[in-house]
Amino acid sequence: MSDNGKPKFAMYWAASCGGCEIAVLNINEKILDVDANFEVVFWPVAMDAKYKDVEAMPDKSILLTLFNGGIRNEENEHLAILLRQKSQILVAFGSCATEGCIPGLANFSNTDQIYEAVYEGVSTDNPNHIRPQYNYEVPEGTLHIPAFYPALRTLDQVVDVDYYMPGCPPESHQIAAVIDLVLKVLNGEAELPPKGAVIGAGNSTVCDECGRKRHVKSITKFVRIHEVDEIDPELCLLEQGILCNGPATRSGCGARCPGVGAACIGCYGPAEGVIDYGARLMTAVASVIDSNDPDEIDAILEGIPDPAGSFYRFSMPHSLLRMAKPAWSNGNR
Amino acid sequence: MSEQFEPVIIGFTCNWCSYRAADMAGTARIKYPPNIRLVRLMCSGRLDPTFVLKALSEGADGVLITGCHPGECHYLEQNYKALRRYRLLLKTIAQMGIEPERVKLVWASAAEGVQLARAITTFVEEIRALGPLRWPLRLAEMDIKETAAVEEVVA
């Protein structure tokens, strides 16, 4: 890698799906600005580089690292620590790195249950019950694969994080805006936001950006979207009894899902100042139930068959409890 | 364990009823176990489930939520909101493997010092029977396990 004097950029994926990288590529011609202004030194999905190349870099030599994905195994943790060491600005990029996201739902189960699902599932033929061995002796020596951790952690539960960029994935126009900001900072035309800030998102809720009409909410029945004959195209989805996570979710996406008749599922994470996303959503959703009778309330709540999964779909590892009790009771890996 | 398990319980009280009931229990010298730490809110409707989860995640073994009897809320009907949130919270924590019995809602008017003291005594015994929750300790153990996993592999 030649040193052309340009600031260095890195992007890494830990426990994630790859959607964040696609979102970065979706900024279209703006990606040329990234290339014109940065030297991309490490980005496994886009270019070939070895971990030892990163290890050989001087500390703090990378200006900007976008880190997506949660910390699920030893390799994820190693790279999180390494990239923290080598980067001046480390951004928890996307829902997995900030809150745990879908991979974080595994925090409802322990390692044995996860292995059971992965290695013994209905679509898996594994008559010998083979499970991963982290160290395996072969004539050439010992093979080692990264150890799987009992629970998924978010990036800031492992290393110090400078900024958070929510979304599953972050909206491309938000990514473009953040890149513009960083370029302005490089040219001395703007200043970086305070450390720990949420960037590339709004400070309000999805409801605030949603164009649907709202009235006083009063719910007598929760329905799932496929149980509705016809969705009113203009009325608030929650008022139609469809569980919508908009009230607790940070703005920034432009309320795209409710805009097309799909309930918000909360991928932009907690709104400003919210400590526990699921708890805030419980507050909002339960308040508008139109009943004062405990039995009737329970009957209405039957319409939410999986409250923990609905309220903590994206935020389980970053919630106050971090994981469900079964995750404690891990057998030997 | 040779020593008896003493549960840590956080109690949320309403300024207009249960807090005064607890006060009354005090002035009337009615005894209730010291396991409960009372927090005064202006209304049970102020109770955000966040408070309950924060208490449990930071070491409480049980949480008691108290408010005005149905129909008697100082703010008209906020205690019903507390009731709805409570029912939803129970379903959610059950999925997280926490016994729903660890969180309890009781109504107590300002005149019911005796009843509140009795409810607290009962709840402390119920939690004692359930045993400790020790959430922060368990999380710390998990972190140690993760460190141990790495060391084991590296060695």
Which residue from A minimizes the CA distance to B47?
A283
Give the model's pLDDT for residue B140. 85
Looking at the structure, do residues A156 and A265 belong to the same domain, yes or no?
Answer: no
ipTM computed for the complex: 0.91
Let me know if residue A322 belongs to a domain.
no
Q: What are the backbone dihedrals phi and psi of residue B115, each rounded to the nearest 5 degrees, phi first?
A: -65, -40
pLDDT digits 0-9 by tens, A112-153: 999 999 999 889 999 999 988 889 999 999 999 999 998 999
Sheet strands (E) in chain A:
8-13, 39-42, 62-68, 71-73, 87-93, 135-138, 141-144, 148-153, 163-165
Let me know if residue A179 belongs to a domain.
yes
The reply to whether residue B142 touches residue A327, judged by beta carbons under 8 angstroms, is yes
B132: closest CA of chain A, how far (Å): 13
pLDDT digits 0-9 by tens, A224-274: 988 988 999 999 999 999 999 999 999 999 999 999 999 999 999 999 999
Looking at the structure, do residues A52 and A171 belong to the same domain, yes or no?
Answer: yes
Query: Over pLDDT 70: what percentage of chain A?
Result: 98
The reply to whether residue A308 touches residue B92, judged by beta carbons under 8 angstroms, is yes
Number of helical H runs and strand E runs in chain A: 12, 9
Which residue from A minimizes the CA distance to B57?
A321
Q: Which domains does chain B possess?
A: 9-154 (3.40.50)
Looking at the structure, do residues A68 and A131 belong to the same domain, yes or no?
Answer: no
Looking at the structure, do residues A210 and A179 belong to the same domain, yes or no?
Answer: no
**pLDDT at B155 exceeding the cut of 60:** no
The reply to whether residue B85 touches residue A150, judged by beta carbons under 8 angstroms, is no
Let me know if residue A68 belongs to a domain.
yes
- Do the Cβ atoms of B124 and B9 come closer than 8 Å? yes
A72: closest CA of chain B, how far (Å): 10
Let me know if residue A196 belongs to a domain.
no
B21: closest CA of chain A, how far (Å): 24
pLDDT digits 0-9 by tens, A95-110: 999 999 999 999 999 9
Burial label, A125 (beta-carbon count in 10 A; 0-12, 13-18, 19+): exposed
Looking at the structure, do residues A130 and A174 belong to the same domain, yes or no?
Answer: no
Interface of A with B in 66-105 (CB under 8 A): 74, 77
For residue A84, what is the domain's CATH number?
3.40.50.700
The CA-atom distances, in angstroms, between A247 and each of A92, A263, A284 are: 24, 11, 7
Q: What are the backbone dihedrals phi and psi of residue A185, each rounded to the nearest 5 degrees, phi first?
A: -60, -40
Give the model's pLDDT for residue A181. 92
Q: How confident is the model at residue B154 (pLDDT cuts 50, 70, 90)?
A: low
**pLDDT at B149 exceeding the cut of 80:** no
Q: How confident is the model at residue A331 (pLDDT cuts 50, 70, 90)?
A: very low
Looking at the structure, do residues A36 and A182 belong to the same domain, yes or no?
Answer: yes
pLDDT digits 0-9 by tens, A41-73: 999 998 998 999 999 999 999 999 999 999 999
The reply to whether residue B54 touches residue A275, judged by beta carbons under 8 angstroms, is yes
Contacts of A326 in chain B (CB under 8 A): 97
Write down the mean pLDDT value for chain A: 93
Note whether A307 contacts B: Cβ–Cβ < 8 A: yes
pLDDT digits 0-9 by tens, B90-148: 999 999 999 999 999 999 999 999 999 999 999 999 999 999 999 998 888 877 766 66
Looking at the structure, do residues A294 and A210 belong to the same domain, yes or no?
Answer: yes
Of A92, A56, A59, A60, residue with least CA distance to A76: A92
A292: closest CA of chain B, how far (Å): 6
Looking at the structure, do residues A226 and A273 belong to the same domain, yes or no?
Answer: yes
Let me know if residue A122 belongs to a domain.
yes
Looking at the structure, do residues A211 and A251 belong to the same domain, yes or no?
Answer: yes
B144: closest CA of chain A, how far (Å): 11
Looking at the structure, do residues A135 and A213 belong to the same domain, yes or no?
Answer: no
Contacts of B49 in chain A (CB under 8 A): 276, 278-279, 282-283
**pLDDT at A90 exceeding the cut of 80:** yes
Let me know if residue A74 belongs to a domain.
yes
Distance CA A103, CA A313 (A): 9
Contacts of B98 in chain A (CB under 8 A): 321, 325
Of B52, B56, B84, the CB nearest to A286: B84
Q: How many structural domains compose chain A?
A: 3
Looking at the structure, do residues A170 and A280 belong to the same domain, yes or no?
Answer: no
Interface size between A and B, measured as CB pairs under 8 A: 111
Contacts of B87 in chain A (CB under 8 A): 286, 294, 297-298, 301
Distance CA A280, CA A97 (A): 21
Looking at the structure, do residues A214 and A298 belong to the same domain, yes or no?
Answer: yes
The answer, as to whether pTM is greater than 0.90, is yes
Give the model's pLDDT for residue A332. 37
Q: How many alpha carbons fall within 13 Å on the CB side of residue A76?
A: 26
Let me know if residue A329 belongs to a domain.
no
Residue A119 structural domain: 110-149
Note whether A134 contacts B: Cβ–Cβ < 8 A: yes
Let me know if residue A319 belongs to a domain.
no
Average pLDDT over every residue of A275-280: 96
pLDDT digits 0-9 by tens, B8-55: 999 999 999 999 999 999 999 999 999 999 999 999 999 999 999 999
- Do the Cβ atoms of B82 and B45 come closer than 8 Å? yes
